[in-house]
Structure 1
């Protein structure tokens, strides 16, 4: 057994050659492309468990995929009669793969009611006749016209949800993968990586979660300082964009982590961990957000706004007229 791959970001252990796989940082089903070396077991566990629950048809993340043109599954729904339905969000078509059958037997008589398409009702009725040959049930064609009726619905009830534990696990996985690609393999051994893995094993208390408005305020501060002199990227994705990113917001000896998948801020908003952000540049102590964003080539690009603002201020001083 040889070890040539870097440590796995999701467990921190060395990856042997026969255990190596390339894991999508933000999830292949979401359309992301950036990959990081990881254990096959860690890859399967994250993709089949937490991310798998986020891809359930009734998950709100299914709508995020639909809004950006990614593959989307039919959304489960229910008619007022209790009959299940499916709604295709791309075409708006409402259909039902099931037929509702109500059957009541009493003293040699039988009451049968079925709701569905004509083919579904015919199949259900013929199934009943086959199973109960002793009953003198007429063929469907011999039933009187008043035995049939049409059913139409103005609406179908849809119940969408978001598995917060799955969302949190997916956000932590994305943070570990993005940081590993941005900082290098040594990130796996940093206190921040250990803190993120610990949060993944023990969900944080509600007080450890920070409101998403913190991100907007940080974005506004950056825009105000560098306006006109350094266009740079923004922290909050623009409407209609398709961003995958991780934002590390230094908070003293703690770090608040925000994750965007398809420009959707993944809750719980702002996961606070008790570990500082590692330096991206020698001698620079991060005091403003660090943005790790997947580019069009599937790589993670890092923007240290501390350094960006420092460069802006230095340039402003050099342009200032001498007294």
Structure 2
């Protein structure tokens, strides 16, 4: 009898729990619908972390990819970083997997390898970026051997041989002298040749300690940085209020590989005091603005290397709006907020081709100055290689596309 009563009690309790669960689900569903309605009417919410009165945008929707405009309900999609992850970004917009993964191989990886040099310089001078820093591959050459620079937690740099270097072979092609990264690698080389019946004698000589000096940065202001700046602007535009996204169709086609009739992204040497006043030194910045006459954006990398993007000159709604996003490289703080349009002047077309080399070197001086403002005391960068246009990697992609 007790078992039956206990079983009946459990059954009745289960029924009550299921009824309550059903009611809770109905209430949650109603709240969700009500929340979507509110977000549609008022797409801005008060920021808890920003300044008083600042607002943070709700980026993107689950309707279409902000880059290729494919309907997301028909494809696999995920979150794409506005500021790429290698720059320390965390805010995302919904984007299709094709664009999300494709951009990484197309141009983000190239820019990441250039930015890692600047990150290592900062870390070596006590300004360690918040995001993980990768090894600077083939940072310099000493005594004819290539070395990587591995950043340590205390800010020091540890030189490591980049790869095994075969220094001498005999007439038959047999290796007579080689330098290895480690004793373990040398042992593996010895075992491989011994398995082939060769007699191998390895003499271990400790590496000669040396100081890392006269490091230089080889920057390429090419198509990859332009494409990254354009992509950041397009993703940030998803947070603009009242933007008719059809106005961005031409810029989207350019990002997806269609050659533009006229260039739309330019390296910008202008002083943008209105933007600089809203960020800390060395911060990454994106500013986008729409007016009835145009849509444009400005992107700053490390607060120093600045690009201007013509996103659209198609007429649009009468309402103007603007948005700024800042990412502090050193602290990792990332914020986006709505603000009154700054109505910035445009960058003149053809600027990259007509300017001499000095203004480009000035950009690196801006980087040095801002690093000193954040506490670097002996930062001294030299520009060993300065190139414009396409990098070797982009040239290879163009040849593959042509074939």
* SS of match in other structure, 2:167: strand
* SS of match in other structure, 1:46: helix
Structural mapping, 1:90-239, within 5 Å? 90-106=155-171, 112-116=176-180, 119=183, 123=187, 126-127=190-191, 130=194, 133=197, 139-140=201-202, 151-155=208-212, 160-162=218-220, 164-183=222-241, 187-189=244-246, 191=247, 193-200=248-255, 201-202=257-258, 208-210=264-266, 212-216=268-272, 219=273, 234-235=275-276, 238-239=279-280
Q: What is the CA–CA distance in structure 1 between the aligned matches of 2:241 and 2:297, rounded to whole Å?
A: 16
* SS of match in other structure, 2:232: helix
**Any gaps of 5 or more consecutive residues in structure 1?**
223-233, 308-323
Contact 2:326 2:334 in 1 (8 A): yes
Distance 1:80 1:197, change over 3 A: same
Residue-by-residue CA offset, 1:238-265 (whole Å, 9 max, x unaligned): 4535344224487x94554211355454
Q: What is the CA–CA distance in structure 1 between the aligned matches of 2:193 and 2:64, rounded to whole Å?
A: 64
* SS of match in other structure, 1:160: strand
Matched, 1:257 2:297: yes
Distance 1:265 1:249, change over 3 A: farther
* SS of match in other structure, 2:163: coil
TM-score, normalisation: structure 2:
0.53
Distance 1:159 1:115, change over 3 A: farther
TM-score, normalisation: structure 1:
0.64
Contact 1:245 1:260 in 2 (8 A): yes
Q: Could you tell me which residue of structure 1 aligns to residue 338 of structure 2?
A: 302
Deviates more, 1:147-156 or 1:85-94: 147-156
Instruction: Choose the corresponding residue for 2:90, options 33, 36, 47.
Output: 33
Contact 2:180 2:186 in 1 (8 A): no
Q: Could you tell me which residue of structure 1 aligns to residue 100 of structure 2?
A: 43
**Any gaps of 5 or more consecutive residues in structure 2?**
1-60, 123-128, 344-403
